[in-house]
């Protein structure tokens, strides 16, 4: 287990800013759980994942702090991600996204061969700033300066302590960082049904994150089945992923 975060590979090199708790590294797993509704069905995994990056409505606690940013919420484990939605009175039916930083793959598909730049907000109790925002309390001068500093550094994401799970860590991703994430799998779970149905669609397998590109074109049906959108293989996204995958294959063969 990494000394940095528990969802981080202990084998990965870590570059640290000289003065600030900012790290540049790779090989992470991230988790996000959302409640299930009719909006899930018929949407490809690609579209569902795309929906994890939220438009800013200037109403939520993150929106108020980072008003010009699109944002996405992730956690260090499924248990932390579940604790977060349970805090907001969720039911037992949910969708789980399991993502990884694409540069960690032996066969990257996003053409962004860059480590993640992460600000460790645990170091300066960033979760307390979020609690103040939730309770409509004013931030101190020091806290406002800290938020300005985060904006200035333009990180991929910000790590902070989970209030819902004391042992967990949350990750607030900005658009730049979100675009470095690929999916390992997406699972649909119905805990309120007698048989507790689960269906998982994998988009990457094995320890080297080998992608199954066509599975981004699969989707869920209401009776917990999966289907393929035949049009997905004709999209720009699929062709871009496939092109980058083939490039990585060529690089791997040349280095052997």
| Averaged pLDDT, 57-70 | 70
**What's the pLDDT at 253?**
81
Residues 12, 28: Cα–Cα separation, whole Å? 9
**What's the pLDDT at 94?**
92
Closest CA to 180 of 74, 254, 84: 74
Residues 219, 29: Cα–Cα separation, whole Å? 22
Q: What does pLDDT average to over the chain? A: 86
41 or 148, which is more confident: 41
Q: What is the 3-state composition of the chain as percent helix, strand, coil, each rounded to the nearest 5?
A: 35, 30, 40
Residue 247 burial (10 A CB sphere; 0-12, 13-18, 19+): middle
Residues 256, 238: Cα–Cα separation, whole Å? 27
Residue 24 burial (10 A CB sphere; 0-12, 13-18, 19+): middle
pLDDT at 137 over 80: yes
Q: Is 82 left (phi over 0), alpha (psi -120 to 50) or beta?
A: alpha
Q: Which two tokens stand for residue 99?
A: 């993502």
pLDDT at 10 over 60: no
Name the residue with tokens 């919420």: 73
**What's the pLDDT at 17?**
52
pLDDT at 80 over 60: yes
Closest CA to 63 of 180, 172, 178: 172
| Averaged pLDDT, 50-60 | 78
Name the residue with tokens 């390992």: 184
pTM of full prediction above 0.85: yes
Is residue 10 within a helix (H) or strand (E), and if so which, with residue range?
none
Point out the least confidently predicted range of 99-103, 115-119, 221-225.
221-225
């Amino acid at each position: 287990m990494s000394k940095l975060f528990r969802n981080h590979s202990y084998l990965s090199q870590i570059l640290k800013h000289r003065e600030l708790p900012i790290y540049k590294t790779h090989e992470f797993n991230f988790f996000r759980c959302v409640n299930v509704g009719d909006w899930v069905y018929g949407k490809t995994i690609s579209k569902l994942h795309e929906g994890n990056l939220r438009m800013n409505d200037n109403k939520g606690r993150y929106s108020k702090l980072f008003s010009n940013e699109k944002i996405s919420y992730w956690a260090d484990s499924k248990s932390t991600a579940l604790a977060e939605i349970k805090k907001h009175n969720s039911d037992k039916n949910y969708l789980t996204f399991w993502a990884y930083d694409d540069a960690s793959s032996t066969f990257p598909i996003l053409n962004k061969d860059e480590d993640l730049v992460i600000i460790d907000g645990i170091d300066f109790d960033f979760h307390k700033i979020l609690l103040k925002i939730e309770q409509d309390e004013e931030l101190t001068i020091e806290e406002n300066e800290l938020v300005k500093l985060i904006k200035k550094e333009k990180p991929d994401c910000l790590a902070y302590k989970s209030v819902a799970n004391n042992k967990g860590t949350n990750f607030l991703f900005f658009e730049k960082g979100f675009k470095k994430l690929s999916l390992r799998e997406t699972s649909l779970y119905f805990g309120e049904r007698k048989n507790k149905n689960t269906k998982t669609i994998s988009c990457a397998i094995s320890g080297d994150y080998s992608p199954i590109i066509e599975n981004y074109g699969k989707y869920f049906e209401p009776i917990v089945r999966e289907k393929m959108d035949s049009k997905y293989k004709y999209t720009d996204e699929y062709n871009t992923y496939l092109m980058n995958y083939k490039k990585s294959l060529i690089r791997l063969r040349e280095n052997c």
